[in-house]
Structure 1
Amino acid sequence: MLQIVQATGSDTYKWAIKPKEQPAAAKPETPQKTTYFQRARSYATTPESDPPRYVRNMAKTEYPTFKDLHWLDFGVDHRTRFELRDDDIRRNNLLTDYPFLLRTRTYVGIKNILDPFRMAVEFQDSRGYNSEFPRDNRDWNPYELIQTYGELYFKDALGKDDLGNNRPIRIRGGRMAWEAVDRRLLGNNQWRNTTNNFEGFRVTFGQEANDWEIDTWGVQPVIRDIDDFDGRNKSQWFYGAIGHWRKWSDVITIQPYFMGLKQDDREGRQPERDIYSPAIRAYGVLPKTNIDFDLHTIYQFGRDNSLKKSAWSYLLEFGYTFKHDWKPRLSAFYGFVSGDRDPNDNVDNRFERFFGFARPWSPDDYIVMENIKAPKIVFEFSPHKDVSIDGGYSWFWLASDTDRFNNLLNISTPNPFNRDATGQSGDFIGQSINARVNYKLTPLVDTTIGYSHFMNGEFTKNRQMAALGESRDSSNFFYVEVSIRAFK
């Protein structure tokens, strides 16, 4: 717009036209940072939330009736999975199996109203049907309490961080299930039909939103009993501490930690074990790039069944996220986990996986974190807000050809042939191609369809032949899973 103005000089009047001044455009506001936490982009490494993801605070649900129940966390979840397993290499019988796995969970948590005291109870019923094989505690654990704990929660005991978040202290005691770091050494195993859980104490300084947090625990693992109520393993203690440094989380998050396992000999009826495991993990995104990384190294020492323990692992993953609405990510992973080098020496090099989650290694549940070399390529993308797709190609070798392949012929068989101490069966386990589609059918219903084709390597075929008198070139795993929650 134009505006006419009068200009004055020393002896004359002049008229001029100049543009009308416009108000300065408002600068877009930068969203204020409210948390230091950054999720790792690495494939399948994000721990389950606390409380579990199917749980909602009742005051925040879609039902106005519950708007005043800010003190109540509640959730109900049911999952049904159909599996087709053809020539499953974990079994001692090469056939096609069609199991149905059912899992129902209910969670009730009370907070705020009785602070500092809080509590939670989680029930789970796990069952499996239509299998050719006997029941086991991977699929069966009916009518069980997987969490029953009390908690003292002091919300600002350590003050506040620079973003204004409280630094609480949380003290829990009772039966608990949780996941930590990248789930490889401590996971409650969301994929499996039954859950890892523990009884004991857990003390946490700080929270996920803070720039630093320390999580400590001393617990005894719960033994899953198919027919009776579960009880803790009184001869075993699992303990540890995890540090989280998030001050520079826009670039890197650092997690130094220590885990240990102590097992007594129960008067000579089982091996005595003292295993110590210091480790460090670092993940993040390289500045001004779309390249992410996840680096992890672990060492183990101590005594295991009268042998000196010396084992190690290192895990490397690099990914690139393309600039596209589908958010495609391509990643490369390599994992090395030591196996026992010499069955006749006085040193045990076999890595102890504690209570980890195996599925990040292979979707068919064949591979665990023990005696393995595993390169993998993964591609992920989301063509719609309710659809995500991922797939990959993996190769597997024994880290030591004289040590075992843990899961080979190791379910429902009393005499597994999963090790050749001479090393003459080779070291190539096989290779796998897999794909998975997740689709949110409705706000309360999630569906997943997955497939994995495993091509048996020299070692797998040779050990199948030694144990069964026959072998297969490959195996197939197909599944359809439906999960239903009570609340959005």
Structure 2
Amino acid sequence: MLSLRLSLSLATALAAGPAFAQDSEGLDVSGTVRLRYEAIANQPRAGFNAHDDLVNLRTTLLARYRTGPVSLVAELWDSRVYGEEPGTPVSTNEVNALELVQAYAAADFGLGNGAKLNLRAGRFTLNMGSRRLVAADDYRNTTNGYTGVQASLTANGGIIATLIYVLPQQRRPDDPAAVRRNAIAFDLEGFDLVLWGGTAAKAKAIGPLTAELSFYHLGERDAPGRTTRDRSLNTYGGRILRDPAAGKADIEIEAFYQSGNISASTASNAAQLPVSAWFIHGDVGYTFAGAWKPRLSLEYDRASGDRAGGRYGRFDTLFGMRRADLAPSGLYNAVGRANISTPGIRIEAVPSKRLDLFASYHALWLAEPTDSFSTTGVRDASGRSGGFAGHQFDARLRWWVRPNTLRFEANSVVLAKGRFLEQAPNAPRGETTLYGSLNLTASF
């Protein structure tokens, strides 16, 4: 408890005002401290405590030096948890203590006719396109880091393209005992896990709609002390969208198809299975003209699941985020882009520059009733438990207590379990799932 009191005192002190400012030589130092308390009742995921709570502490420190077109950037992340019990779901999604997630050099080049090229090399975070495949996760206590090169082009006509060749950072330590004691170990990267590809978009490609194309290849193989499913996945995607604006309708449709091969298990002699998987997201909304800028939208997400027949059909979201579309991670972490079919409705509002909020409802079905539901690990291989997982109600409120310096955030989820989550053989006992988190983030 002493460390938590010190953390809260530090966050309060940082909120009093900036500790660093940019100097005349182009050096800028900034950071954040986020303290989160989260709790869950009637955990829907298999294998964990039915009721649980956890304290997350995340501290970041970013230093950037810029001279002319060249930038040098380094960012330190320190992600820890406290108060866990033996059955608490704690992994490298929550813990990555004292890690240099970013350390890169970048340069800007003018190509004439208004075109610009940015190159960076080293360790960095990435947010590509819709962030459904490659993202720097923000709600989660740890983030995704990548080591390699990135080229981003901006050209006339609203054309933006980004290409990457990176080695995703594998968070260490990854053994449960070390993770639970917040042990420090430098993350690894290597050619046993490679991601390359890119995204290109053009504004007003179809009337007012932006069009986007993407392709990513993920190659994964076993390494000493690390067995894998030996994934070799090609993911092809396309998206059209019109951004929300007051008094106008907006739309987003994105689809991915995944091919390649994957091992049936992590065993060295496991059979290789051909992959055929897919995902689609669609939403249409309208933002009303008014002081609160309320937006109402209808949504649908479907990610394929696996079935018998010699092909692997479960969609792999790679390094994508989940909070913006589906639900929080953390202790909940039950709903992601895998074996799910979910229509939904969402209402968003921005009452002031300091306050924003949303609430959503999703009906949850399994895309394949014999595969495990989404990211719960709950499965009925016979399919006799049906295909309805439940009703999910999700809400978030964010309030700048002190503008740009101290922000409060509250998240809540209610999952009224359906037949599948009540009757599947390994479904945890308990009725309605309740999840909530309280967050306080200080920025300096």
CA distance, structure 2, for counterparts of residue 224 and residue 287 of structure 1: 39
Partner of 1:352: 316
CA distance, structure 2, for counterparts of residue 78 and residue 215 of structure 1: 30
CA distance, structure 2, for counterparts of residue 295 and residue 262 of structure 1: 27
Partner of 2:149: 201
Q: 1:461, CA displacement in angstroms? A: 1.8
Q: 1:255, CA displacement in angstroms? A: 1.2
Normalised by the size of structure 1, how large is the TM-score? 0.77
Partner of 1:308: 274
User: Contact 2:245–2:287 (CA<8 Å) still a contact in 1?
Assistant: no
User: Contact 2:46–2:426 (CA<8 Å) still a contact in 1?
Assistant: no
CA distance, structure 2, for counterparts of residue 221 and residue 383 of structure 1: 39
Matched, 1:76 2:31: yes
Partner of 2:59: 104
CA distance, structure 1, for counterparts of residue 227 and residue 205 of structure 2: 49
Partner of 1:467: 426
User: Contact 1:374–1:394 (CA<8 Å) still a contact in 2?
Assistant: yes
Distance 1:451-1:232 versus aligned 2 partners, 3 A rule: same
Percent of aligned positions with the same letter in both sequences?
A: 27
1:294 paired residue among 249, 252, 258: 252
Partner of 1:331: 297
Query: Which 10-residue stretch deviates more, 349-358 or 228-237?
Result: 228-237
Structure 2: tracts of 5 or more residues without a match: 1-16, 174-182, 264-271
Corresponding residue SS for 1:174: strand
One-letter code of the match for 1:179? N
Task: Report the aligned-residue RMSD.
Answer: 2.5
One-letter code of the match for 1:308? P
Corresponding residue SS for 2:420: helix
Q: Deviations over 1:158-195 (max 9, x none)?
A: 2233xxxxx22222211111111121111111000001
Matched, 1:437 2:401: no
- The structure whose Rg is larger is 1
CA distance, structure 1, for counterparts of residue 161 and residue 248 of structure 2: 29
Matched, 1:120 2:53: no
Q: Deviations over 1:322-368 (max 9, x none)?
A: 1211111101100111111x32x221111111111121212343211
One-letter code of the match for 2:276? S
User: Contact 1:250–1:285 (CA<8 Å) still a contact in 2?
Assistant: no
CA distance, structure 2, for counterparts of residue 82 and residue 233 of structure 1: 35
Distance 1:67-1:478 versus aligned 2 partners, 3 A rule: closer
2:170 paired residue among 218, 223, 233: 223
How many residues align? The count is: 401
User: Contact 2:338–2:375 (CA<8 Å) still a contact in 1?
Assistant: no
Structure 1: tracts of 5 or more residues without a match: 1-61, 162-166, 410-417
CA distance, structure 2, for counterparts of residue 184 and residue 285 of structure 1: 17
Matched, 1:317 2:283: yes
Corresponding residue SS for 1:459: helix
Partner of 2:268: none
User: Contact 2:244–2:286 (CA<8 Å) still a contact in 1?
Assistant: no
Matched, 1:458 2:419: yes
Partner of 1:362: 327
2:230 paired residue among 245, 268, 272: 272
CA distance, structure 1, for counterparts of residue 278 and residue 375 of structure 2: 20
One-letter code of the match for 2:138? Q
Distance 1:254-1:96 versus aligned 2 partners, 3 A rule: same
Partner of 2:98: 143
CA distance, structure 1, for counterparts of residue 27 and residue 260 of structure 2: 44
Corresponding residue SS for 1:436: strand
Q: Deviations over 1:373-431 (max 9, x none)?
A: 0111111112223111210111111111111224225xxxxxxxx33222122211111
Corresponding residue SS for 2:113: coil
Matched, 1:447 2:408: yes
Q: 1:66, CA displacement in angstroms? A: 5.2
Q: Deviations over 1:70-100 (max 9, x none)?
A: 7233311110111121122225244322211
Partner of 1:213: 160
Query: Which 10-residue stretch deviates more, 373-382 or 87-96?
Result: 87-96
2:189 paired residue among 232, 248, 252: 232
Q: 1:250, CA displacement in angstroms? A: 8.4
Distance 1:210-1:69 versus aligned 2 partners, 3 A rule: farther
Partner of 1:176: 124
One-letter code of the match for 1:185? L
User: Contact 2:43–2:50 (CA<8 Å) still a contact in 1?
Assistant: yes
Query: Which 10-residue stretch deviates more, 435-444 or 268-277?
Result: 268-277
CA distance, structure 2, for counterparts of residue 389 and residue 286 of structure 1: 16
Query: Which 10-residue stretch deviates more, 258-267 or 188-197?
Result: 258-267
Matched, 1:261 2:218: yes
User: Contact 2:253–2:282 (CA<8 Å) still a contact in 1?
Assistant: yes
Q: 1:285, CA displacement in angstroms? A: 5.4
CA distance, structure 2, for counterparts of residue 368 and residue 92 of structure 1: 18
Corresponding residue SS for 1:206: strand
2:367 paired residue among 384, 388, 399: 399
User: Contact 1:273–1:303 (CA<8 Å) still a contact in 2?
Assistant: yes
User: Contact 1:251–1:286 (CA<8 Å) still a contact in 2?
Assistant: no
User: Contact 2:204–2:211 (CA<8 Å) still a contact in 1?
Assistant: no
1:426 paired residue among 373, 382, 386: 386
CA distance, structure 2, for counterparts of residue 180 and residue 335 of structure 1: 19
CA distance, structure 1, for counterparts of residue 199 and residue 243 of structure 2: 21
Q: 1:265, CA displacement in angstroms? A: 4.6
CA distance, structure 2, for counterparts of residue 314 and residue 134 of structure 1: 29
Q: Deviations over 1:34-57 (max 9, x none)?
A: xxxxxxxxxxxxxxxxxxxxxxxx
CA distance, structure 1, for counterparts of residue 393 and residue 422 of structure 2: 18
User: Contact 2:361–2:393 (CA<8 Å) still a contact in 1?
Assistant: yes
Partner of 1:15: none
Corresponding residue SS for 1:460: helix
